[in-house]
Copies of this chain bind each other. A is one copy, B any other.
Amino acid sequence: MPRLAELLGKSDADAARLFAVFRQDTRNDPHVHVGDVHATDAEMALVLAKEQFTRRDPCVNLWVVPYSTIAATPYDDAALFEHVTDKSYRFGGSYREQQRITRPRRK
């Protein structure tokens, strides 16, 4: 599971000065990756991120992370996450359908 910087072919030096920006729109939402900023350090990255990613959008919180510390699954390896064999038992799918027909009227 290589580091993201390697996957993107970035040198360590570059990756250390590129920051991924995560924005939390409201207190009900999780942080979401909205883009990146180049900065010499995290403090500067937050200042730039605030300017670039919160002028037009709601925001209650920002995270910034240097690309050099992000570990990632390889992009071309989405197959790793495919549900290859039948996992309907996890969703109760079949139960859900069976249910709807025969479930006693409730509420």
B-contacting residues of A (Cβ < 8 Å)? 1, 3-4, 22, 30-34, 42-43, 45-47, 50, 54-66, 69-73, 75, 78, 80-81, 83, 87, 90-91, 95-96, 99, 106-107
Contacts and interface: CB of A to CB of B under 8 A. Distances in A.
A61 B78 contact: yes
Contacts of A78: 59-61
A59 B38 CA distance: 28
Nearest to A66: B69
B54 A81 contact: yes
Nearest to A58: B81
9 contacts: A1-B42, A1-B43, A30-B33, A30-B34, A46-B72, A60-B75, A60-B78, A61-B73, A65-B65
